[in-house]
Amino acid sequence: MHVSADSLIATLRTRGMRVTAPRRAICEVIAAAHAEHLTAAAILEAARARSDAKIDPSTVYRTLDALEGAGTLTHSHLGHGASVYHLADEAAHQHLICSSCGRTFELPEKDVRAFLDDITAGSGFVADPTHFAVSGLCAECAATSR
Amino acid sequence: MHVSADSLIATLRTRGMRVTAPRRAICEVIAAAHAEHLTAAAILEAARARSDAKIDPSTVYRTLDALEGAGTLTHSHLGHGASVYHLADEAAHQHLICSSCGRTFELPEKDVRAFLDDITAGSGFVADPTHFAVSGLCAECAATSR
DNA sequence: TTTCGTGCAAATTGTTTGCAATAGA
DNA sequence: TCTATTGCAAACAATTTGCACGAAA
């Protein structure tokens, strides 16, 4: 099931970190996002909307870093722009980003596995599919461009 | 065979673009790099060393854009940092970047093909493996971390 | 009462853009 | 000549960092 805001906060507390209003708001936003992928800017905006505390971008990045350090959160690079963050408990998936329409797609774990095995077989390299997207053309854009 | 500086320059000329000292120097650097992947900063530095013309970063980016527009050059995103540029006539290859030691590897076209087919089969998505790297752990780092 | 965490402001990195002067064709 | 191209400086977006104050523990 999905991680709750409380368990994210508990994670921070366990690591000896202090629980503050900004951190609480950020954890709530991340928990509420479920599988959605949010940019730091989106998290900041949502956290500000949810809390009356003044929240700074740097605080968002610092909290995100802390959660990543704890292993509960990961970020991926979808394109040329900002990174997106999502809970680490999600199934591994490969992001596909269409260079024409900009939409992103997720490749189910099964298909990713075949890709990973392929890479591993040749080089001993242990790929982490979550980190970078693969760019290309989505089915629709590929059809129109032809 | 590899593209020569002259043919890159000819490409620009064919497109109705003017041939200037900075462009000539940039083309020479790219041609001399063969299969090496250079950042815009590296291209700038090398072009400055090779020409007595004053060359600005913006000129490098603009020339690189022009060559990409002509289809002779492509850039890839290897990691969080700067893009790298290389001639488009190179065989398609997937970059692997080790998140631990930072080294990059190239996956031969044959192996990439299996991956591409796999992606295409499921989603109709036409992947371009050259654009984004896949991050993970190289064989060595994976061994030490275990 | 200690630190840790904060907001703020400024620095960084990589890249893009507006502009007037310059130099190809 | 005439317009593309330039260097410069400033704008950019995403992110990081230094710092003194304020607030968790």
Q: Test A128 with B138 for CB contact under 8 angstroms.
A: no
What integer pLDDT is reported at residue B85 of this predicted model?
96
B51 and B97 housed in the same domain: no
A101 and A83 housed in the same domain: no
Q: Which residue has the tokens 């704890």?
A: A70
B81 and B119 housed in the same domain: no
User: CA of A66 and C1' of C11: distance in angstroms?
Assistant: 23
A38 and A74 housed in the same domain: yes
pLDDT band at A107 (very low <50, low <70, confident <90, very high): confident
Average pLDDT estimate for A6-26: 96
Buried b or exposed e, range A41-76, using 16+ CB within 10 angstroms: ebbbebbbeebeeebeeebbeebbebbeeeebbbbb
Measured distance CA(A14)–CA(B62) in Å, rounded: 51
- Model confidence pLDDT, tens digit, residues B46-100: 999 999 999 999 999 999 999 999 999 999 998 888 999 999 887 778 888 998 8
A30 and A62 housed in the same domain: yes
User: CA of A39 and C1' of D14: distance in angstroms?
Assistant: 10
B25 and B73 housed in the same domain: yes
Q: Which residue is nearest to nucleotide D13 (CA to C1')?
A: A81
Domain termination residue (choose one: A62, A87, A112): A87
For chain B positions 103-142, those within 8 Å of chain A (CB to CB) are 105, 107-108, 111, 114-115, 118-119, 121-129, 131-139, 142
Q: Quick check: helix, strand or coil at residue B81?
A: coil
Q: Which residue has the tokens 């631990």?
A: B100
Question: Which DSSP category does A18 fall into?
Answer: -
Nucleotide nearest to A83 (CA to C1'): D14
Average pLDDT estimate for A128-132: 85
Residues 6+ apart with CB under 8 A from A141: A98, A100, A101
B38 and B100 housed in the same domain: no
User: CA of B90 and C1' of D8: distance in angstroms?
Assistant: 35
Q: Which of B81, B65, B98 is nearest to A80 (CA)?
A: B81
What integer pLDDT is reported at residue B19 of this predicted model?
97
Q: Range of A122's domain?
A: 93-144
What pTM value is reported for the model? 0.89
Q: Test A127 with B114 for CB contact under 8 angstroms.
A: no
A60 and A100 housed in the same domain: no
What is the number of domains present in chain B?
2
Average pLDDT estimate for B107-136: 80
Domain termination residue (choose one: A69, A87, A105): A87
Find the CATH number of the domain harbouring A131: 3.30.1490.190
Average pLDDT estimate for B36-44: 96
- Residue in B99, B127, B135 nearest the CB of A96: B127
Name the residue with higher pLDDT: A54 or B113.
A54
- Residue in A80, A96, A114 nearest the CB of B123: A96
Nearest-by-CA chain A residue for B142: A126
B100 and B83 housed in the same domain: no
B16 and B81 housed in the same domain: yes
| Token pair listed for B62 | 């603009």
Nucleotide nearest to A56 (CA to C1'): C7
Find the CATH number of the domain harbouring B68: 1.10.10.10
Cβ burial, residue B24 (10 Å; 0-12/13-18/19+): buried
Q: Which residue is nearest to nucleotide C12 (CA to C1')?
A: B81
B82 and B23 housed in the same domain: yes
With a cut of 90, say whether residue B1 has pLDDT above it: no
Domain termination residue (choose one: A43, A58, A87): A87
A115 and A45 housed in the same domain: no
